[in-house]
A = this chain, B = another copy of it.
Amino acid sequence: MEHMTYHQANRERYLDGFKAFLRIPSISTSPAHAGDVRRAAEFVAQDLAASGMEHVGLIEQAGRHPLVYADWLGAAGKPTLLLYGHYDVQPPEPLEEWLSPPFEPEVRNENIYARGACDDKGQTYILLKALEGLLRTTTRLPVNVRVLMEGEEEVGGEHIGQFVARHPERLAADAALICDTEMFAPGLPTICTGLRGIVYGELLVTGARTDLHSGVYGGAAPNPIQAIAEILASLKDRDGRIRIAGFYDRVRPPTPEERAAWARLPFDEAEFLEKEVGASCLVGPAEVPVLERLWAQPTLEVHGVRGGFTGEGAKTVIPAKALAKLSMRLVADQDPVEATTQLQAAIARVSPKGVKAEFQPIHSAAPSMMDPANRFVKAAAEALTSVFGRETVYIRSGGSIPIAGLFQKHLGIPSVLMGFGLPDDNLHAPNEKFHLPNFFNGIIVVNRYLELLG
């Protein structure tokens, strides 16, 4: 247990290092911050090298943010674990809503506030410090470890996907550990066993050749925004069920055990509505429990409509074209390619006359499911329970972590999703925070997890 003593003795230094990591404005979507993104990659690489990891290096992506790779493969006969995190962050805007500057980390009430505090620098740094504690105290790790960190997670992660597909041999492992999710409730150790997939794309509808005056042509000319409205209204019923032929055919319902476990979670629908959503009521089929709607049911969502006039005041235009941003969230065992084809066929079927409507996908990710009986999952639950002192719960997430599906597809390995964020950590929003007890406990959990696997 000398590494536990080491972790304890280094708490202040860990916090200082974490703050230094947070001070780097590694905003991956901003060309102006490309240098900062690289600094963050170098920060991660230097930390791994200082701890004693081997083969540390940046994997350059032509013109894009690098991957950070490291490994330690000296545990002969032991399994190999692939650790994933990302060192890039979302833009901090709107700046005026931050109580402290987004890149000047500040501790208030056991929370550290900064962009990336939770997503994902805090959780990435947990991995780094767990490795440091083990390597500095015993000069070895209990299992073989590969580390792969990316700097483009917040902009789609396209290049890591290409790397994983092209170089599976460089990432050979038995399982992956992804620290980029959250605990279901404060103090409640949580493993995520399912992620929704996604197909995100654009529905382009064209009508007249040019924008037309609604006085002169209104009543005879097709209106692409009206067409989008009719298409969207046709594709869902009033309870939110999706009316796309074959769409639900592959949807795997949760097992009775899973449903029972979700029903036992500390979830209060009224509180969820009031505190998190803040609308007059929730939507979706009443007979499906809310968590099941979020985790085990697919969605079709419109994110925006572009076209026509949206400035102040009035302009009586019938736009020549309009574009809607749509996504489908998919659940096991739906397939993104099949779902895209189904959506395209449904759009063709319901498009009103006078317009041409086409859906083009921009990106997609398969849904993923982890078996709670898998030994890597069970060890993670044991490590979590031993540190937090409560039974680990299994949840799913309605979001998508494409890398989990890519590890499954190209490396043939499951991903353990062990998260230390909290539901109110303000990911992607002003005043993002990370709960410091979770930060320190997370380091102990990952350390113990590696020991249990070894």
Contacts and interface: CB of A to CB of B under 8 A. Distances in A.
Contacts of A276: 217
A308 B325 contact: yes
A230 interface: yes
| Protomer copies | 2
Interface in A349-372: 352-356, 362-363
A219 interface: yes
A305 B303 contact: no
A278 B321 CA distance: 12
Given A215-B399, A229-B228, A283 B222 contact: yes
9 contacts: A200-B314, A220-B293, A229-B232, A281-B353, A282-B354, A303-B309, A304-B308, A304-B310, A315-B325
Contacts of A238: 230, 352
B220 A284 contact: yes
Interface stretch (A36-44, A55-63, A204-212): A204-212
A283 B225 contact: no
Interface residues of A, number: 82
A327 to B, nearest CB: 6
Nearest to A182: B216
Contact of A156 (B314, B355, B363): B314
A363 B354 CA distance: 29
Interface in A254-279: 276-279
A279 B353 CA distance: 10
Given A220-B294, A226-B302, A302-B226, A327 B316 contact: yes
Interface string A309-351: 1100111111100011101010000000000000000000000
Interface in A163-215: 196, 198, 200, 207-210, 212-215
Given A218-B398, A304-B310, 18 more contacts: A208-B278, A209-B279, A214-B303, A214-B327, A217-B294, A219-B299, A220-B277, A220-B282, A220-B290, A222-B279, A222-B282, A223-B301, A280-B355, A280-B356, A301-B316, A303-B309, A303-B318, A304-B308
Nearest to A278: B209
A17 to B, nearest CB: 29
A277 B283 CA distance: 40
B213 A283 contact: no
A221 interface: yes
Contacts of A428: 213
Contact of A223 (B196, B207, B218, B302): B302
Contact of A355 (B279, B306, B309): B279
Contact of A301 (B234, B304, B318): B318
What are the 5 A-B residue pairs with the smallest beta carbon separation, nearest first?
Answer: A209-B278, A215-B399, A304-B308, A233-B233, A229-B232
A238 to B, nearest CB: 6
A270 B294 CA distance: 50
A339 to B, nearest CB: 15
A240 interface: yes
Contact of A200 (B281, B294, B299, B316): B316
A274 to B, nearest CB: 9
A236 interface: yes
Contacts of A218: 294, 299, 301, 327, 329, 398
